[in-house]
Amino acid sequence: MPKITPFLWFDTQAEQAAKFYVSIFKNSKIGKIARYGEAGPGPKGGVMTVVFELDGQPFIALNGGPHYKFTEAVSFVVDCTSQQEVDECWTKLSAGGEEGPCGWLKDKYGLSWQVVPTVLTELLSDADRAKANRVMQAMLKMKKIVIDDLQKAYRGAA
């Protein structure tokens, strides 16, 4: 099977963004950095692409200029097993960015992320639809997802 690698278009911040993401996720690293040469289109010696990994998932970042911007149509889901993981990822990824509803945020580079506790999927897919609906209603009121509040809604507690 061919390998699929997310390719992220930045204006001029590819290297800074890659270093930022690598600093947040464990088991992550910067790989090869390619630079523009005489032919351009970027400035000679400037960073063209940065290959990096986030917890083993490969990515490539490109300094392609101001032609394209990120939208919420593409986002990355961070599956967190605890509230501590949610809090840590949320705080780091949203720093300088923008918090959104239901666990969504945009980082300081405009890339969208969903910081989601694993338990959310379990609660939303419960066979008891009344419980699942209470969880959905609680989540819709949140920015950062709070596991205790989801579990209270699931139990029917205020």
Segment 106-137, tens digit of pLDDT: 999 999 999 999 999 999 999 999 999 999 99
Alpha-carbon gap, residue 123 to 127, rounded angstroms? 9
Domains, the chain, in order of start with CATH, read 1-68 (3.30.720.100), 70-158 (3.10.180.10)
Q: Which residues does residue 114 pair with via DSSP β-bridges, in sequence order?
A: 77, 104
pTM: 0.93
Q: Which residues does residue 115 pair with via DSSP β-bridges, in sequence order?
A: 78
pLDDT in tens, 41-94: 989 999 999 999 999 999 999 999 999 999 999 999 999 999 999 999 999 999
Alpha-carbon gap, residue 150 to 153, rounded angstroms? 5
**CA dihedral for 98, 73, 137, 124, sign (positive or negative):** negative
Pairing of strands 75-80, 112-117: parallel
Q: Which residues does residue 7 pair with via DSSP β-bridges, in sequence order?
A: 60
Amino acid symbol at 137: Q
**CA dihedral for 119, 96, 76, 103, sign (positive or negative):** positive
